[in-house]
Amino acid sequence: MWVKPQEVFIKSALWDCDETSLYFVLQRRKGHGKSKGLSSLLVGTLDSVRDTKPAPYRILHQTPNSEIYYVIATALTEQEIKQDWQWLFENVCPTLHSFDTEEEVTEFVCCKINSIIATEQDNFTEDEDTINYKNVDYDFHQRFGMPKDEKLVCYYSCSYWKGKMPRQGWMYLSVHYMCFYSYIFGRNTTLKIRWADVTELAKTNSLLFPDSIKVVTRDGEHHFTMFLKKNETFALMQQLANIAMKQLIDDKSGSFNIDKELLTKLSKNVPKKASFLKRDLDARKQSNLYTLRFRLPQTEKLDGTEECTLWTPYNKRHNYGRLYLSQNFICFDSRVSNLVRVTIPLRNVYQVEKADSGGIGGSGESGSILITTSYHTSFLFGNIADRDFLVHKISELLAKLPNDMCREKGVKAVAGREEGEWTPQPPLMTLFKTHQTSSIKQIQQKKEKQWEDHMAEVGRGVSMYRTTEGSELVVKGIPESLRGELWSVFSGSILQKVQNKGLYERLVKEALSSKNQANDEIERDLHRSLPEHPAFQNDVGISALRRVLCAYALKNPTIGYCQAMNIVASVLLIYCPEEQAFWLLATICETLLPDYYNTRVVGALVDQGVLEELTKSQLPDLHAKLDELGMMKMISLSWFLTLFISVMPYECAVNVMDCFFYDGAKVIFQVTLTILDVNKDKLLKCTEDGQAMQILSEYLEGIYNDEAMALSTEPRTAQKTIKIQDLVYQSYRMYGANVSGECIEHLRLKHRLRVVRQLEDSLEKNTLRALQQDRLLEPNELQELLSIIREELFWAKRVPSERLEAPYEAYRLDYGQFRTIYTALSPWAKGDYAEAITARIFKLMDHDDDGLVSARGLSVGVGLGTRADAQRRLRALYCAHAPPLLSPLDLRPARFTDTGEELAADAICFFDTVENPSTPEPPTLQRSISEVCNETNHMDKSSSSTCSQAESQSAECVRACALWGLASQSAACTPVSGAPPPGAVAPRLPRAHFLRLLAALHDLTQHSAPLYEATARAGTLLLQLGEWNHRPNLDREMSQDSLYMAAAAQPSAAELDPNGNTTEAEPPRSPSTEIDPTDSWSITLEQFLATMLAEPSLEEFFNKQISIMPQLEALRQRDRLQSVS
């Protein structure tokens, strides 16, 4: 790569000269390539410690009488620098001899190089990464053997504690790996950790490891210290580990996509990062915090921020804060927490103009802008440092909005209208009204008046000002008539509804017409959803609940349906129109409580850990007691999954939901900590978990709300404990400052590592336990094999499946991944016929014909070829070549391909010539054939009753026969007699299929002459057996032919045509002329096994036990660049 000429005064202090000419020198950095000695060690150590990473190759320009040299080219590889060196000799050197002075030569060379660089820059927009980063990225891939698509994010100088001594070096953080490399005086230290294997990340400060970062994996602990940017490094490590954990939970983010728009977007005062990927990750992190703070769709990307003031008309004040700008929203948050917050959708912006004055002091240097919405609401932002740039940026974003962007509609519910066969329902509370006393009606009316007055000041809908007065009203409880509207606004679900207009109707129509497991589970739980409410004692409410749950299961199949979703959705339907309830449910499942409602309830398990840590920090003595009783994991799951609806009275739980939608998940932790704190003294006296659970249950049942009617008409039996409004207020007063949304997200990140790793370990243990039942491979071999399978799936960016019938079904390999592992482990996949055998074993193990094989299929396929007895190995090979698994398409000869296929064709031709030998067989051979036929005669009769033709056998029967005898087969399939069950008998093998099987056997035994000869003898016997099986059919055809010939010899009566002319009758055709004699040629599995096992050498060969541990170790250590994934 050509670089701008730079002066250097010493050309060989740290460099070795490889080639020299009159005007140019090609140099290699000491410590690279073949250079050795003390100087190479010193330079290598110096380069390892220094921040700058010079390229290992460079070209200098020199003149004979000058002491100044110019660096004109650098390169990472010898091949690149040789190309530049060759170009200089072909295009520059011939011209240099025409100059008179050395100064002219130097000036020409520098101008030539500068012109080349300028030409390249004209065709290049903006470089993503710095040159120094590219050098480091090259070293990273070379040192750690990374695939080309592995992306290096950043690198940091640090020390790694190996034993009792720190090793100074560099930490490399990539998308999937954390690596460390140190080179100190010839001694290398290399560490490579995959993020998916990390179970804990923590900052520590102990006497042994001062001010360090601890990384814990299943294999041990690693400590890193002496960071220059410790906080930045730790934050990036957490972010990358979190990405890896989310990929393990589901594969929606399996591929890491870089946001290339960052290169072209209009920006200002953006610091240059060494890596563009680091800049992208920082932007992604800021966008996640932004969407969480303002309850925006997760796809929203933060464009930039600006300090400014916001004029609030309700109190006529300027409020300092920060303005946030993204592609669809303008948001503001005050510097004082919760003082004022506002969200303005860009689709509602009608006009953006510069204001004449604004801000505090009205300084001319600080500009103001006025934003007017289509609802005639104005927002005045002042004290903006660069007003022109901000206006230009907003105008640019407005211009990018689609022309058909729908405007925000009113949030009040409208009665449902007929659409096809179903009608979306309004809030069910308007259809099924509950009786209210006069006092409760007055309280509700008073609350409505307070909210109406408040919204008259701060606005209504998405763009209303969020103030401290509004927070106080939420804590007191939202009136029932406004609950649906405000829930949708506070949660941000109204934004998703507007952006996805018509999606709910389409999902309902498709979901109701489909049958799947999720719909069946929903149907079972419909009548268990809030049965005490009259709305769900009627088909109207049940049908609405069915539509919402089925539509969401179709929208997000990763989650589908989980128990507790029906309870939450039923409450949403009471207060919200049907479609708003659907989008509220989506916001809960995907944003507010992420990963809660998947089949493994990962999010709820993560929040269990969060609650445990919060309890330990806020209530340490109570935490120790609950941990002793084993109650910490019993408390939170049902409380959190149903948002307290299932553990406290319904009319009280909805008040918790008011605050939950307003402030997010922090509310459920605050309330839980308050409940534990209030009952602390009683819980500390408990001696068993049942006693403690009884105390908490009685307290929760005693919570009351005298401002709303209870659903149950029966008299209340539980003793009143606390008013719900007081409980919520206490939770904010006691824990509101210590438990924030940012704190919850930080703790979730920490505990997600542990929970996901525990789930992965549990799945792996269950899988190993299931695979060991086959009794083929050893436990240590299965452990290594499963690790390799996980590695292949990891690089293929696929995650273990859910909703499984067996644990090993979680790990499913396609043919490319199966072939990579099988060919490395199985002795059957080592010859010229390896590809064909691998493909047939894959098809044999693909039980559902979906192109994927489970971990058990691979372990059985490898185990049959290495550990099974001879009879089971031969049975598997026979079934792999039997119809319908070996289709007619597979029988086509592959000509002019690789050597393996040609050898297989030669083997087929060889056995084909043996079928009809030109010379008579020896008597001994004839006797052996008759003996084998007599021995297998009863086998033919028993098998012909169950499978008369190959076409009548299904693939399931063939696979069952191949795997018969494994310990994991069900007891019902194992007959008492020891023979395969009737439904698992292999079909007869036709001639074409048999020749393919013989070709495979020939390939497996061609390395040994005795084995080859034994295979030839057995093949000859089996071909003769096939002819013997075919002979009765030929005798019958010959007798029929004689009858037809006798009939043809008799004179036939003349026949007259319609015109009265005589015609000659056509002689009858022999049926044997219409039948292909090869169609009836076949052998049975019993004949094949008896013939093959009659050869002692073949029996010994197929009984040989083979260890695959060396192959497994080699496979684990292989270069990932050569992997099929």
Supply the DSSP string of 946-1000, one letter for each residue: T-S-GGG--HHHHHHHHTTT-TTS-GGGS-TTSSPPGGGPPPPEEHHHHHHHHHH
Task: Give residue 10's identity as a one-letter amino acid code.
Answer: I
Task: Give yes or no for a contact between 485 and 461, defined as CB atoms under 8 angstroms apart.
Answer: no
Sequence-separated contacts (24+) of 322-326 with Cβ below 8 Å: 323/381, 323/384, 323/390, 324/290, 324/294, 325/390, 325/393, 325/394, 325/397, 326/287, 326/290, 326/296, 326/300, 326/301, 326/302
Structure tokens at 263: 């290169």
User: Quick one: pLDDT at residue 402?
Assistant: 79
884 cis-preceded (ω within 30 degrees of 0): yes
User: Quick one: pLDDT at residue 1099?
Assistant: 92
Tens of pLDDT along 407-434?
444 444 333 444 446 889 999 999 988 7
Q: Looking at the whole model, is its pTM more than 0.95?
A: no
Query: Residue 569: beta bridge partners?
Result: none
Mean per-residue pLDDT for 95-103? Answer: 85
Mean per-residue pLDDT for 742-748? Answer: 88
Average pLDDT of the chain is 80
Task: Give yes or no for a contact between 642 and 564, defined as CB atoms under 8 angstroms apart.
Answer: yes
Q: Which residues of 628-659 are buried (b: 16+ CB within 10 A; e: fewer)?
A: ebebbebbbeebbbbbbbbbbbbbbbbbbbbb
User: Quick one: pLDDT at residue 1096?
Assistant: 93
How far, in Å, CA of 59 to CA of 26, rounded?
Answer: 5
Query: Residue 220: beta bridge partners?
Result: 217
User: Quick one: pLDDT at residue 1007?
Assistant: 87
End-to-end CA distance of the chain: 31
Angle at 544 between CA 540 and CA 550, to 5 degrees: 145
Task: Count other C-beta atoms under 10 Å from residue 525's C-beta.
Answer: 16
| Torsion 12-17-20-24 (CA) sign | negative
Say if residue 352 is exposed, middle or buried (CB neighbours under 10 Å; 0-12, 13-18, 19+): middle
How far, in Å, CA of 705 to CA of 437, rounded?
Answer: 13
User: Quick one: pLDDT at residue 742?
Assistant: 84
Tens of pLDDT along 539-559?
999 999 999 999 999 999 888
Residue 513 to residues 501, 550, 663: CA-CA distances in angstroms? 21, 10, 38
What are the φ/ψ torsions at residue 419 (nearest 5 degrees)?
A: -135, 95
How far, in Å, CA of 562 to CA of 598, rounded?
Answer: 6
Task: Count other C-beta atoms under 10 Å from residue 236's C-beta.
Answer: 20
Which band of pLDDT confidence, cut at 50, 70 and 90, is reported for residue 1093? very high
User: Quick one: pLDDT at residue 822?
Assistant: 93
User: Quick one: pLDDT at residue 267?
Assistant: 54
DSSP string computed for 19-50: EE-SSEEEEEETTSTT--SHHHHHHHHHHHHS
User: Does residue 369 surpass a pLDDT of 90?
Assistant: yes
Q: Assign 834 to helix, strand or coil.
A: helix
How far, in Å, CA of 1065 to CA of 1025, rounded?
Answer: 42
Tens of pLDDT along 203-233?
888 777 778 899 998 888 999 988 888 888 9
Tens of pLDDT along 858-876?
999 999 999 999 999 999 9
**Cβ neighbours of residue 498 closer than 8 Å, sequence gap 6 or more:** 345, 347, 406, 408, 409
Helices (runs of H) and strands (runs of E) counted in the chain: 41, 26
How far, in Å, CA of 798 to CA of 81, rounded?
Answer: 40
Could you identify the residue written with the tokens 């329902």? Answer: 425
What are the φ/ψ torsions at residue 366 (nearest 5 degrees)?
A: -95, 110
DSSP string computed for 310-322: EEETTTTEEEEEE
User: Quick one: pLDDT at residue 60?
Assistant: 87
How far, in Å, CA of 615 to CA of 630, rounded?
Answer: 14
**Cβ neighbours of residue 456 closer than 8 Å, sequence gap 6 or more:** none
Which band of pLDDT confidence, cut at 50, 70 and 90, is reported for residue 93? confident
How far, in Å, CA of 492 to CA of 478, rounded?
Answer: 17
Structure tokens at 839: 């493909």
**Cβ neighbours of residue 85 closer than 8 Å, sequence gap 6 or more:** 19, 24, 26, 59
Task: Give yes or no for a contact between 754 and 199, defined as CB atoms under 8 angstroms apart.
Answer: yes
Angle at 876 between CA 871 and CA 881, to 5 degrees: 130
Task: Give residue 839's identity as a one-letter amino acid code.
Answer: A
User: Quick one: pLDDT at residue 53?
Assistant: 62
Q: Which of 289, 295, 272 is nearest to 133 (CA)?
A: 272
How far, in Å, CA of 617 to CA of 610, rounded?
Answer: 11
Tens of pLDDT along 1046-1059?
444 444 444 444 44
Residue 418 to residues 357, 409, 472, 520: CA-CA distances in angstroms? 53, 20, 40, 26
User: Does residue 596 surpass a pLDDT of 90?
Assistant: no
| Torsion 774-775-780-785 (CA) sign | negative
User: Quick one: pLDDT at residue 309?
Assistant: 95
How far, in Å, CA of 773 to CA of 989, rounded?
Answer: 31
Q: What percent of the chain has pLDDT over 70?
A: 78
> Which of 62-66, 633-637, 666-670 has the weakest average pLDDT?
633-637
Tens of pLDDT along 899-952?
444 444 444 444 444 444 443 333 333 333 333 333 333 334 333 333 333 343
Q: Which of 360, 344, 278 is nearest to 311 (CA)?
A: 360
